[in-house]
Amino acid sequence: MGRALIEAVVQDDAFALGAVFARSGSPLLGRDAGELAGLGHCGVAVTGDLESGIADFDVLIDFTLPEGTLRHAQTCARHGRPIVIGTTGFSAGQRMQLDEASRHIPLLLAPNMSVGVNLCLMLLETAARVLGDSVDIEVIEAHHRHKVDAPSGTALEMGRVVADALGRNLETCAVYGREGRTGPRPNGIIGFETIRAGDIVGEHTVMFAGAGERVEIAHKASSRMTFAHGALRAAAWIPGRPAGVYDMRDVLGLA
């Protein structure tokens, strides 16, 4: 995602690339960000010290790992910088730490920055309420072989939206994968299936399967630029907002 974000910023006249950060010890440190993204020299070198570069940007976009994101959010909170977070895989305790940071700054947390995915979330809520408990619900997601968390944050958010619409608790009704003699399907569960293969950018399908018919709501991303452009839309929206936690539905006016 880093290269896609750099490309999106450099190619959009509404933004200026102020700084690019990578983890300590990364072989990318010191490299020109534009050259890394295949855009030619841009004059912004990759650095590993967010604290020393805090004055170089107005909004931080973070697509890293949960531990790194927490450190970055805390640094932004100390210095009053808004942060847009696309990282997934947070534990409940880590989410609490993000909530604490959001007491001081506007913090946007979205498992998926795609406009299309967030439209799907609206459609899922409607479908769940209309179809109710008369159907079996499955969430199927596929990503590239290097993705480290499963199910994806987007899949979990889709499941949460459906569960909330049905008055269920996702933590107690979710079933993750199946193996062996599982017996008949219990009522009221939401199933999750995960695929990790090749260079799949991201695919999500929610299946509502009833007697004699099946409704599927699906989103397929063919380029990471979809997520990069969504992140820029969020970065343009968040400055000046009151401290608190936001998501892409706020950005898109869907909340």
What residues form the annotated binding site for (S)-2,3,4,5-tetrahydrodipicolinate? 144, 153-154
pLDDT at residue 182 in the model: 92
Catalytic residue at 79?
no
- pLDDT-based confidence at residue 254 (cuts at 50, 70, 90): confident
pLDDT at residue 54 in the model: 94
Lowest mean pLDDT among 88-92, 189-193, 197-201: 88-92
pLDDT at 239 over 80: yes
pLDDT at residue 82 in the model: 98
- pLDDT-based confidence at residue 128 (cuts at 50, 70, 90): very high
- The predicted-structure confidence for 199-221, as pLDDT tens digits, reads as follows 999 999 999 999 999 999 999 99
pLDDT at 170 over 90: yes
| 8 A C-beta contact, residue 109 and residue 185 | no
What residues form the annotated binding site? 86-88, 110-113, 144, 153-154
Tokens at 71, concatenated: 């450190």
pLDDT at residue 167 in the model: 96
pLDDT at 112 over 90: no
Ramachandran region, residue 215 (left: φ > 0; alpha: ψ -120 to 50; beta: rest): beta
pLDDT at residue 180 in the model: 93
Residues in the chain: 255
pLDDT at residue 237 in the model: 97
From the list 41, 104, 147, 204, the catalytic residue is 147
Mean pLDDT taken over the chain: 94
pLDDT at residue 89 in the model: 86
CATH number, domain 1-109+224-252: 3.40.50.720
| Highest mean pLDDT (candidates 1-10, 33-42, 186-195, 222-231) | 186-195
> Quick one: average pLDDT of 77-106?
96
From the list 41, 72, 143, 146, the catalytic residue is 143
pLDDT at residue 88 in the model: 87
pLDDT at 255 over 80: no
CATH classification of 115-221 is 3.30.360.10, yes or no? yes
Q: Structural domain boundaries of the chain?
A: 1-109+224-252, 115-221
> How much of the chain exceeds pLDDT 90, in percent?
89
Task: Say yes or no: do domains 1-109+224-252 and 115-221 share a fold.
Answer: no
Catalytic residue at 41?
no
pLDDT at residue 221 in the model: 93
- The predicted-structure confidence for 12-70, as pLDDT tens digits, reads as follows 999 999 999 998 888 999 999 999 899 999 999 999 999 999 999 999 999 999 999 99
- pLDDT-based confidence at residue 90 (cuts at 50, 70, 90): very high
Rounded to the nearest 5°, which phi and psi values hold at 207?
Answer: -105, 125
